Amino acid sequence: MALGSEGRDGFTSRFGIVCAAAGSAIGLGNIWRFPYVVGESGGGAFLLIYLAFVLMLGIPVMLSEFVIGRKAKRNAYGAFRKIAPGTWWPLVGVIGIVAAFVILAFYSTIAGWTLHYVYLSVANSFKGLGALEVTSVFEAFQTSGGLPLMWQMIFILLTAVIVLSGVKKGIEKYSKILMPFLVLLLISLSVRAITLPGSMGGLHFLFNPDFSKINAAVILGALGQAFFSLSIGMGALITYASYFPDRTNLSATSFQVSIADVLIAILAGVAIFPAMFALGMQPEEGGPGLIFMVLPNVFQAMPGGYLVAVAFFVLLAIAALTSSISIMEVVVAFLSEELNIKRKSATLITVIASAFVGMFCTLSWSTFEGVGIGDRNIFDLLDFTASNVLLPLGGLLIVVFVGWYMKQQAVRDELTNMGVLKLVVFMIGWYTKDERTEEDRARFRAIRIRIYAVFMFIVRFIAPIAIAIIFLNAIGLIRI
Ligand code: TRP
């Protein structure tokens, strides 16, 4: 990593930037959370609403985080303090830090399960098991308490080691090579799943929208899933963008990352639902254990299934790591930059706090079984609070900040890279006596400004109003 102007670490290559942001976005959210939330929320109609939210709200929120982060070159809290000193805006950063804690707590539960499944698949534990037995292997593990707890702690420590030792660069380098493999594996899983007898109902479920299944809670769920999967609403991408160099094209990056993220989620859906239907499982039955109960059956039905299973869970664990480091980094950057705690101590504090809260999540199916509200246990409650409450709230405040508070020239400069561009244009003009026609320049300007106008309209009006309505509708304050 090159040192930035203020002595902070920075990303160097353009591809590295997209990869780091994509590494944060692509993770358990796509492969673990997306299928089970789609299953619980009725399939195709949910998928359509989720896609609309990614395009209309997700990309603008992501772009807003990029604008704030690169402008301020600070952590999620410090960025607001720098751009809006003496206001209450830094509270948005505080919401983000709380959200990061909560997400790290339950994310590490699932990442721990993934590690255990690396072990199980290396040990060839699913060999010869039928679908029911695969499910009971999972349930026995999930409810056993100690074992999932151990894997969770291992995962939190792994995350901390990476955050601390700055081997992020190494992680980026490897995930550039490894993530395409994960995509290839998902494609081959999908092909196998679709060719299983009885699988077509799964595709029908995923792609044929049945709008009778949509209600206010499902709509909020789609928003939460979009935000969670894109890593937006809590400042993770503010923190990452603070390391972006001036020449990064922010809008192109937000599009590329979001599209990759969505494609991988859909691919995971195409691998899971046909397999579920072929196995005779109901889509709403899976819950958080869905992929762990379904995929081992698909691996078994594949040539080379042993290796595919091992590779899949290893790559999933790595995808989870590249996401969890972006979550932990939010907290560590805040503690070290704002409270002047050394990075080492900051990481230690974060590990202890998230391990403590995380323990309750992992033990939701054993020690704390039955503790919760309604049919949600502790794990579900923390996931719900973070994904469906804190992230949308954070996203709402972030777009209002960019749309209404920030100086519009500053936003425009970030989006068009004008600060740098002006200098380049000036230099070219200087050396070449500027031979481009007025028309060339006008076209160039016009494209930039059109993107800007659409973006501003969304962040000022559409996104805040839409998020507010979805929210109020879901908690029952208004009825649409
Ligand atoms: N998006 C990641 C995933 O899909 C999880 C994640 C990483 C995240 N950073 C985040 C979620 C910040 C919300 C906010 O697995």
Q: Is residue 207 part of a domain?
A: yes
* Number of domains, the chain: 1
Q: Report whether 34 contacts 221 (CB < 8 A).
A: no
Sign of CA dihedral 17, 18, 20, 25: positive
Question: What Cα–Cα distance (Å) separates residue 41 from each residue in 100, 132, 214, 294?
Answer: 25, 24, 8, 18
Q: Is residue 427 part of a domain?
A: no
CATH number where 96 lies: 1.10.4160.10
**Ligand 1 centroid distance, CA of 229 (Å):** 6
Domain range for 46 is 5-389
Closest CA to 322 of 120, 152, 111, 153: 111
Give the amino acid at 48: L
Q: Is residue 463 part of a domain?
A: no
For 432-465, the pLDDT digits (tens) are 655 566 665 655 555 566 778 899 999 999 999 9
Give the phi and the psi of residue 144 in degrees, each rounded to 5: -85, -15
pLDDT of residue 438: 67
Q: Is residue 134 part of a domain?
A: yes
Element (H or E) spanning 2, and its range?
strand 2-3
Q: Is residue 421 part of a domain?
A: no
Q: Report whether 361 contacts 130 (CB < 8 A).
A: no
Out of 225, 316, 323, give the residue to mutate to test ligand 1, the one with the largest number of ligand atoms within 8 Å of its CB.
323
Our CA dihedral for 207, 198, 273, 50, rounded to 10 degrees, sits at 10
Whether the CB of 323 sits within 6 Å of ligand 1: yes
pLDDT of residue 433: 58
Whether the CB of 27 sits within 6 Å of ligand 1: yes
**Ligand 1 centroid distance, CA of 225 (Å):** 10
Rounded CA separation 318/335 (Å): 26
Q: What is the pTM of this model?
A: 0.92
For 11-20, the pLDDT digits (tens) are 656 677 778 8
Q: Is residue 162 part of a domain?
A: yes
pLDDT of residue 464: 97
Q: Is residue 225 part of a domain?
A: yes
For 313-357, the pLDDT digits (tens) are 999 999 999 999 999 999 998 999 899 999 999 999 999 999 999
- Answer whether residue 6 shows pLDDT above 60: no
Q: CB-side exposure of 192: number of CA atoms within 13 Å?
A: 22
For 214-234, the pLDDT digits (tens) are 999 999 999 999 999 999 999
Q: In terms of C-beta density within 10 A (0-12 exposed, 13-18 middle, 19 or more buried), how is residue 167 classed?
A: middle
For 229-254, the pLDDT digits (tens) are 999 999 999 998 998 888 788 998 99
Whether the CB of 96 sits within 6 Å of ligand 1: no
Q: Percent helix, strand, coil in the chain (nearest 5)?
A: 80, 0, 20
Q: Is residue 40 part of a domain?
A: yes
